[in-house]
Structure formats: C-alpha cells, structure tokens
C-alpha cells in the first residue's frame, strides 16, 4: 500500500512539473502575477511529492519488500539496515529517483531565496527547472521505474553489490548529485536572463551563490568518489581517468571557469555571453555525464545494469534542453563587452586566461572520453585512451593556472601594470622558491626536479594567498570587515595548492610492490619491512572471509599493524578486497590481499602512498572556500536601490 | 603601447597558446590511443607488433598455470574461434576466474605470447566486458560463414 502511494505521489509530482513548466511561463509573458505565483507552490508541492515517493521506496528497503523488482535485485534480508537505506540509490532506478529528489530540493531552496529577484524572473527560473524535472520524471516512470512489482515475490533479494556496501557509497552519490544537479539552477538562471531582462551585474550577483554551492558539492562529491575508489577497490589508485570519473570532472572544470567568469560579470559587467555559455555548457556536461553513466556504453565499475534505450532518451533530452537553451542564446545574445580602456595587466585578463585554460582542459578530457565512443559508434574499431594522455596534457595546463592565481588575485580591476604586479610578487616568489629548494634538498630520485617545480608552483599560490589574506585582515575594521567572498576565495586557492602538493608527491613517490608471501614471511620494501604474521577466518553479517595480520616495521620499530581482508559475499558469491591502511599526514601504508595461490601462499600488494590525504584535504578546503564565499552577505542582500554596474 | 597594438599582442598570444596546446594535446592523444583486438583478429595478423594494445576474451577453463614461487601466471583467452596465451606477473583482479571474460593491456612478444601489463575484470557477477561480448559475436558470425 505504501509503495502504491509512493508511486502515485511520483505521478502527481509529474503533473506538478507539467504545470510548473507551462503556467508560470505564460504568466511571465502576459504579466499575470497570479499565474506567476503558481510557480512557487507548484515547485514546493513537487518537492513534497517526490520526497514522499523517496520515503516510500526507502520504506520498501527497510521492510525487505522483495515483491519490488528493484528491492529484490539490490537488497537482501541479511544486509545491515544502514546499507539497506543506501541501497535505495545503489542502482539505476533509485539513483534516478535521488536525482529528481535533489533537483526538487534545489527548486524548493530556490523558492526560499529571499533576495530581490523580480517575480517574473523567479517564475521563469522555476519553470525551466520544472521542464528539467518533467524530463527526468517521465524518464524514470517509463524506462526505469523503481516501484514496479513482480509477483510472486522472491523469498530473498540478490543483495547489494558488495562494492557499494560501504560508508563512502552512502554519502558519495548524494553529494555528487547535489553538485551535478545543482548546476541546473545556474542553467535556469542563465536561460531566464536571456528570456527576460538580460545579463547584468545584478543577475550575476543572484547567480553567484548558486554556482558556488553547486560547485562546492561537486568538489566534495568527486573527492569522496576518489577516496572511496582508493580504499575500496584495493588497487591503491585514487584517480583512473575512467570515463565515469571524467564525466564528473568535466562539469567541475567548466564550473570552476564559471565561478571565475561570473565574478568578472558581477564586478565589471563583462564576459556576459561567455558566462551564459559556461552556465549552459556546465549543465550540459552534467547531462552528458548522466548519459555516459546510465546508457551502458561505458566499460566502468559504475555502469551497473544499464540499457541502451535509456541512453537514447537521455541523449534526446540533452539535445532538446541544451539545443533549446542555445537557440534562446542565439536569439537574445547579450551585447558584447567593451574592454577598450582596460590594461593588459588588469584582473580581467587573468580571469579570461583562467577561462581559456580550464576550457582547454575540459576539451582535452572530452576528447579522450568521447573519441573512443565515437569511433566505436561508427564501427571503426574499439579503443581506449590511456591515462598517460590525460597526465601529459594536464600537467602543462596546470602550471600556468597556478602561476596565474598568484598574480590574478593581486591585480586590480581595469587598470594595472605588470611592473607593479612583478614588484609586489618579488618577496612571495623568493619565499616560495626558498621553500621549494628546501623541499628539493629532501627529495630523492629521478622525479625530484619535477616534484620540486610542482611544489614551487603550489608554494607560490599558498604564499601569495596568505600574503593577501594577511593584508586584508590587517586592514579590516569593524565597519568594513574582510568579506566572506574574499575569505572563501583564499581558502579555496590554498585548497587547490594543497591538492596539487598531494597529487605531485603521490604520483612521483608512490611505491608499489606485488609479492607472493606465506604467513611468517617478511619482505623489504622501500625503507620498511612487512611481516605477514598470520591469517584467520572471519564471518560478517552477509559475508565470510579471511583477515591477515601484517606488521610493518621501520628501523626495528613497529610503525603499523594492518588487517587486510578478503571477503566472499554470500548472496552473489562475489569476492571483495578490503585493504589494510595505516593513514598518515605524510604517508599511507596500504596492504591488500590478492588471491590465495596453492596451499599457503598469497598474492600481496604493498603500497606506500606519500601525501595522498592532501589530495582530499585540499578538495575539502576548496569546497569549504566555495561555501564560505556563497555565504557572503552581499548575495542575500535585499537591494532596493540598484547599484552602478562598476561597483566593486 | 597603443590600444590597437595591445589588442594585436593579446590576440597573437592567445592564438600561439592555443596552437601550442592543440599540438601538445594531439601528439599525446595519438601516442596513447590503445586499440582492442580479439584473439581471432590477432591470429589474422591485425594486431600491431611494436605498440601496446588490449586483448579480450573468455579465460579458457583449466588453462590457468601458476609460476612456482612468483606471481607469474599463464592463461589462454578465447573468443571461441581462436585462443591466445597470455602471461601476467602481478595480482589478478578479484573477478578473474576461469570461464569469465576479461580484458588485458600489453603487447605480443616475438613468440606470439601476449605479455600483459594490466588485467582488468569488472566487478559485477553477470558482467561481460562490452569489447569481449562484441568479439564473441563477431567470431560466431565468422564461424557461421565457414
């Protein structure tokens, strides 16, 4: 009964989304305030109905209702309760429901934003979000309905994929989706601006917090996925340039460009067309990401239970939404910028270069991700693009980006000179160089030069950012305190540098060794000694397996005791590797069991991962920076008297 | 500098930068494209000799042989028309099993043995890598023609 109610409320939500897509638009065209006011209630009603549907499906998982095909294929009565709840979004149908739920949450949040947007503008934004939710609700109900029953119901379920039975997977999809789907709001804001009053600094001020929050969620979502892959897949890798990872990384890159371009649009009323295009393209890439993951055309750990007809639907939807938005753009293009009185060393130039570099980076990832699919679709053969491609392209792109951060944040808007920029960069540059040379002296091996150069760039960003922050803080007064937008920007830039440090050191100085060992044996690796002490049988709630004990010593002292496991899940008889990890600030020691060979021996994977935590900590700082900036009071301000466009 | 000159300089810099980036990107791309070949295609001599590629097929039941005291392992891959022996030294993925589909990266040595640098198997019980499914379909068609 509860299931049917949930199903029914999703159908009602679909009706709401139809009303939301049509009525407010008519209201906006005819200036009818009553029709426009429907947007708010329809959006809230849709959120409530989708939420009820989501609760109903969760209820089915909690009560082990295996008459639902979706529950039967993704849960099992022996699955712990926490994982039964996260199994709701463990496969395609449920994750689509989560997608729609998060979209509805964003819409409901938008109805609560209490700044000075005109009613007409708000109505259009909500209507566009309504069209997007209509597409996804239709898609879910007709191709991927999680509420379908198959009677007679099986006695027990097939169980959740063991890879997903993990804390990381409880939180990774909702946060990632919050980011992905969050970019629908800037998209809707962009299209609504084109349909209405156009793009102006005030519009940019409305858009900024939404872009920042979506970007922050996406940052956290991606880094959680990376962290999960690191400890759960048992390979010790943190990024594989897998197409599905790329699918989330592309909107992130373009979203980062959008954050910066939008800042220029707000402060200087420039880059308007470019900002709008970025907002459209970022959401377009989110849709492409959904298409890639859900169509089954990818070889990936993420592409569970997929179906080509779904891919066709998403592709058609993508074409309509993005094509429509671009058509609106072509018809109502914002007037072009006047930068004639700008000097080349002004901040605008740095922000423009940021956009160019990040767009090129996005294009390279897009090429490496889509080209193999295109060749395959044309029947010209099967191929893949190796990780070295992405690495060899990305590193030269990141160097100018890091360099620019240091200069860009000190440059003035409109007018500045390179002479001034270089002269104030002297001391930070000297400081960063000293630090990098110091680091170089501690580094060894063939990669030391590259590592030191990359560290130089990261130190440069950190030192210049801290210097600016210090200057701002010491100049701050009670009346004009340091603005949160500036604070957030500084935190995010430092976070980026921290991630770069982590990526550099873990890429160059990781040690990996595959060995064959039996209990009692010891092996030297790097400056450590690993001893395979013992192995014992273990039993979990829905699996059985073995757990090994390893002592890791350095200079005769025990520095870590690790317990890697090998599990066999009962329901699907799948094997899983649980790595033993000793986490640290400067390094992780990572041991995973391979398979049992003959009677006594095991394949063992030993890894040292220096500074790997910095990658995720840096991402956390970036996301925190985005959130701090989004909370800047200026974005919530009710603006009675419109401010001049050049105000900073 | 006059505004006109400034504009030209900016434009020239941007074009040069983009050209450099494109050149870098396309070279790296060309170098790292990795093609996929089935055992049948390798038997027909389609596979490159001095460039790594990917092979895929079903692991032949009973073909897995372990090297003594190391992690070395030999096994045969089949698309049910031809077989190819593969050697790999390292830890195999959890889902590597006899009778299941896998994909391996590597190249042929002079004796025709495929020496793998990486073995991939997907983490799903019913899973068959799409490349392998495709290769099986092709070899089946090929046999029907005979």
Summarize pLDDT for A231-273 with one digit per residue, the tens. 888 788 899 888 888 999 999 999 999 999 999 999 988 899 9
**Beta bridge partner(s), residue B33:** A385
Nearest to A248, CA basis, from A178, A306, A351, A161: A178
Q: How far apart are CA A600 and CA B69, in angstroms?
A: 11
Nearest-CA distance A233 → chain B (Å): 9
Name residues whose C-beta falls within 8 Å of residue A264's C-beta, 6 or more positions apart in sequence. A270, A271, A275, A347, A348, A351, A352
Nearest to A563, CA basis, from A540, A591, A544: A591
Asked whether residue A392 is assigned to any structural domain, the reply reads no
Q: How far apart are CA A177 and CA A151, in angstroms?
A: 33
Residues from chain B that touch A385, judged by Cβ atoms under 8 A, are 29, 32-34
Asked whether residue A95 is assigned to any structural domain, the reply reads yes
Q: Which of A160, A187, A209 is the last residue of a domain?
A: A160
Q: How far apart are CA A260 and CA A208, in angstroms?
A: 10
Domain limits for position A519: 511-612
* Strand pairing report for A580-582 and A587-597: antiparallel
Whether B34 and A161 lie within 8 Å, measured CB to CB: no
Rounded to the nearest 5°, which phi and psi values hold at A551? -100, 130
Radius of gyration of chain A (CA): 26
Whether B33 and A385 lie within 8 Å, measured CB to CB: yes
Q: How far apart are CA B128 and CA B119, in angstroms?
A: 14
Q: Which two tokens stand for residue B109?
A: 């040595």
Q: Which of A115, A138, A160 is the last residue of a domain?
A: A160
Q: How far apart are CA A280 and CA A324, in angstroms?
A: 10
* Strand pairing report for B72-78 and B53-59: antiparallel
Q: How far apart are CA A325 and CA A281, in angstroms?
A: 10
Nearest to A74, CA basis, from A265, A431, A86: A86
In whole angstroms, how far apart are CA A578 and each of A161, A227, A539?
14, 14, 14
Asked whether residue A67 is assigned to any structural domain, the reply reads yes
Sign of the four-CA dihedral A13, A17, A18, A23? positive
Q: What is the pLDDT of residue A282?
A: 97
pLDDT, tens digit, 9 for 90 and up, residues A160-177: 878 788 888 788 989 999
Q: In 10 A of CB A639, how many CB atoms?
A: 13
Whether A598 and B25 lie within 8 Å, measured CB to CB: no
Asked whether residue A575 is assigned to any structural domain, the reply reads yes
**Count of structural domains, chain A:** 2
Name residues whose C-beta falls within 8 Å of residue A579's C-beta, 6 or more positions apart in sequence. A231, A234, A236, A564, A590, A591, A592
Asked whether residue A527 is assigned to any structural domain, the reply reads yes
Nearest-CA distance A139 → chain B (Å): 25
CB pairs under 8 A between A and B: 106
Residues from chain A that touch B69, judged by Cβ atoms under 8 A, are 516
What integer is the mean pLDDT of B8-37? 84
Q: Which of helix, strand or coil describes residue A577?
A: strand
Nearest to A193, CA basis, from A118, A110, A105, A257: A118
Asked whether residue A560 is assigned to any structural domain, the reply reads yes
Residue A394 sits at the vertex; the CA angle it makes with A388 and A397, to the nearest 5 degrees, is 150
**Beta bridge partner(s), residue B104:** B55, B119
Q: How far apart are CA A502 and CA A64, in angstroms?
A: 43
**Beta bridge partner(s), residue A522:** A531
Q: How far apart are CA A289 and CA A291, in angstroms?
A: 5
**Which of A299, A367, A397, A517 is most worth mutating to test chain B (most B CB atoms within 10 A of its CB)?**
A299
ipTM of the complex: 0.82
Chain B residues interacting with chain A (CB cutoff of 8 angstroms): 3, 6, 9-10, 14, 17-18, 21, 24-25, 28-29, 31-36, 54, 66, 69-71, 89-92, 94-96, 103, 122-125, 129-131, 134
The whole-number mean pLDDT for each consecutive block of 10 residues of chain A, a chain of 648 residues, reads 94 97 94 92 96 97 93 89 90 90 96 85 96 94 90 82 80 92 96 90 93 97 92 85 89 97 91 94 91 63 52 84 93 77 85 92 91 79 83 88 92 90 93 95 88 96 96 87 92 97 94 92 91 93 92 92 91 83 93 88 93 97 97 70 41
Asked whether residue A442 is assigned to any structural domain, the reply reads no
Q: What is the pTM of this model?
A: 0.92
Q: Which of A130, A160, A190 is the last residue of a domain?
A: A160
Q: How far apart are CA B135 and CA B84, in angstroms?
A: 14
Asked whether residue A43 is assigned to any structural domain, the reply reads yes
Whether B28 and A393 lie within 8 Å, measured CB to CB: yes
Residue among A382, A577, A605 whose CB faces B36 most closely: A382
Report whether A146 contacts A97 (CB < 8 A).
yes
């Amino acid at each position: 009964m509860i299931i049917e109610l949930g199903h029914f409320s999703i159908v009602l939500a679909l009706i709401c989304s139809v009303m939301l897509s049509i009525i407010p638009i008519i209201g906006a065209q005819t200036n009818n305030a009553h029709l426009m006011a429907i947007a708010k209630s329809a959006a809230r009603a849709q959120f409530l109905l989708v939420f009820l549907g989501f609760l109903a499906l969760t209820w089915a998982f909690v009560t082990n209702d295996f008459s639902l095909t979706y529950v039967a294929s993704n849960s099992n009565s022996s699955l712990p309760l926490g994982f039964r709840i996260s199994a709701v979004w463990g496969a395609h149908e449920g994750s689509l429901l989560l997608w729609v739920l998060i979209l509805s949450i964003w819409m409901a949040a938008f109805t609560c934003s209490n700044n000075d947007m005109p009613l007409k503008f708000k109505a259009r934004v909500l209507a566009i979000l309504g069209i997007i939710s209509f597409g996804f609700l239709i898609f879910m109900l007709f191709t991927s309905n999680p509420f379908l029953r198959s009677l007679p119901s099986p006695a027990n379920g097939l169980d959740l994929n063991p890879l997903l039975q993990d804390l990381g997977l409880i939180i990774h999809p909702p946060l990632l989706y919050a980011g992905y789907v969050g970019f629908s709001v800037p998209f809707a804001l962009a299209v609504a601006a084109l349909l209405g009053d156009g793009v102006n600094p005030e519009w940019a001020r409305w858009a900024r917090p939404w872009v920042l929050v979506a970007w922050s969620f996406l940052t956290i979502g991606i880094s959680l996925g990376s962290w999960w892959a690191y400890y759960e897949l048992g390979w010790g890798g943190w990024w594989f340039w897998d197409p599905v990872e790329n699918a989330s990384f592309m909107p992130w890159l373009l979203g980062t460009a959008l954050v910066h371009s939008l800042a220029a649009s707000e402060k200087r009323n420039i880059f308007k067309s470019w900002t709008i295009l970025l907002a459209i393209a970022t959401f377009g890439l989110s849709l492409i990401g959904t298409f890639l993951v859900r169509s089954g055309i990818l070889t990936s750990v993420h592409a569970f239970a997929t179906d080509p007809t779904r891919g066709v639907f998403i592709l058609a939807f993508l074409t309509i939404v993005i094509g429509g938005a671009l058509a609106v753009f072509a018809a109502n293009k914002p007037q072009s910028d006047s930068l004639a009185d700008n000097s080349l060393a002004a901040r605008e130039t740095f922000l423009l270069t940021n956009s160019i570099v990040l767009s090129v980076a996005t294009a390279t990832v897009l090429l490496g991700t889509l080209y193999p699919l295109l060749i395959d679709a044309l029947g010209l053969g099967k191929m893949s693009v190796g990780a070295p491609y992405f690495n060899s392209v990305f590193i030269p792109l990141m160097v100018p980006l890091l360099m620019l951060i240091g200069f860009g944040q000190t440059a003035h808007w409109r007018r500045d000179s390179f002479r001034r920029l270089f002269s104030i960069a002297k001391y930070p540059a000297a400081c960063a160089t000293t630090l990098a040379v110091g680091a170089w002296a501690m580094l060894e091996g063939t990669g030391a030069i590259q590592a030191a150069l990359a560290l130089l760039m990261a130190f440069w960003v950190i030192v210049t950012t801290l210097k600016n922050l210090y200057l701002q803080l010491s100049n701050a007064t009670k009346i004009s305190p340091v603005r949160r937008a500036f604070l957030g920007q500084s935190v995010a830039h430092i976070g980026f540098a921290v991630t770069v440090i982590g990526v550099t050191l873990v890429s160059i100085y990781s040690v990996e060794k595959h060995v064959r060992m039996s209990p009692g044996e010891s092996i030297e690796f790097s400056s450590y000694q690993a001893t395979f002490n013992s192995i014992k049988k273990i039993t979990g709630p829905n699996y059985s397996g073995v757990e090994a004990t390893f002592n890791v010593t350095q200079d005769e002292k025990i520095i870590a005791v690790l317990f890697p496991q090998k599990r066999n899940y009962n329901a699907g008889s799948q094997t899983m590797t649980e790595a033993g990890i000793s986490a640290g600030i400067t390094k992780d020691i990572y041991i995973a069991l391979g398979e049992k060979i003959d009677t006594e021996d095991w394949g063992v994977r030993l890894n040292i991962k220096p500074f790997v935590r910095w990658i995720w900590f840096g991402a956390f700082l970036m996301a925190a920076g985005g959130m701090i900036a989004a909370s800047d009071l200026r974005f919530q301000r009710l603006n009675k008297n419109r401010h001049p466009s050049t105000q900073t | 500098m006059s505004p006109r000159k400034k504009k030209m300089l900016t434009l020239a810099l941007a074009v040069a930068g983009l050209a450099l980036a494109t050149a870098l990107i396309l070279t790296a791309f060309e170098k790292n494209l990795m093609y996929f070949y089935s055992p049948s295609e390798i038997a027909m001599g389609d596979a490159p000799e001095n460039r790594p590629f990917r092979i895929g097929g079903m692991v032949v039941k009973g073909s897995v042989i372990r090297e003594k005291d190391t992690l070395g392992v030999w096994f045969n891959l089949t698309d049910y028309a031809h077989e190819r022996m593969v050697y790999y030294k390292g830890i195999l993925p959890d889902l590597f099993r006899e009778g299941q589909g896998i994909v391996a990266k590597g190249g042929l040595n002079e004796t025709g043995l495929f020496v793998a640098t990486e073995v991939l198997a997907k983490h799903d019980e019913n899973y068959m890598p799409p490349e392998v499914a495709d290769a099986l379909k092709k070899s089946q068609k090929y046999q029907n023609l005979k």
